[in-house]
């Protein structure tokens, strides 16, 4: 269902039983799975939402991947652009890996819950079932599955 007032600048694939709510803005090449929610004033750019992912309201999803059953609390921002010029690097086990991309947001594993008004830095990788407390600035890099980030 696409509510009146939503704006989609494709190409975009939208799965069954997905809600694109009033005021949502979807641009770039996006894939949105079955049973997802792109909510009021949520902007999604060049990203993928797997089945059951939800960004109910006031979120920014830029150059990111959301796993199955993820939930972004109101006001969540998945930042995708470094302040300093250059490509986004991802720190994994103490080693920096260059993504080769100027814009790269987050990879959010299955079942991750991100609390309201949290921000992920560019190049954040959240393993499955992580929990991010509200109002948290999530450091870039890899976070093990089931991590609690405050």
Active site residues: 57
Q: Are 31 and 12 in contact (CB under 8 A)?
A: yes
- CA 101 remoteness from chain centre: 16
Query: What letter would DSSP give residue 22?
Result: T
141: β partners: 124
Q: Which of 139, 141, 78, 142 is nearest to 114 (CA)?
A: 78
**Encoded tokens for 138:** 């999530």
HEC-encoded secondary structure of 23-78: CCEEECCEEECCCCEEEECCEEECCEECCCCEEEECCEEECCEECCCCEECCCCEE
């Amino acid at each position: 269902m696409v509510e009146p007032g939503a704006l989609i600048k494709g190409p975009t694939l939208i799965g069954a039983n997905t809600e694109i709510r009033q005021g949502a803005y979807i641009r770039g090449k996006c894939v949105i799975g079955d049973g997802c929610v792109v909510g009021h004033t949520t902007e999604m750019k060049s990203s993928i939402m797997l089945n059951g992912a939800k960004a109910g309201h006031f979120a920014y999803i830029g150059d990111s991947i959301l796993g199955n059953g993820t939930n972004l609390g109101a006001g969540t921002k998945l930042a995708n652009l470094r302040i300093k010029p250059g490509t986004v690097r991802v720190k994994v086990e103490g080693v920096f890996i260059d993504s080769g991309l100027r814009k790269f947001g987050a990879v959010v594993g299955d079942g991750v819950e991100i609390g309201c008004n949290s921000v992920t830095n560019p190049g954040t990788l959240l393993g499955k079932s992580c929990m991010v407390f509200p109002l948290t600035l999530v450091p870039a890099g890899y976070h093990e599955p089931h991590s609690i980030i405050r």
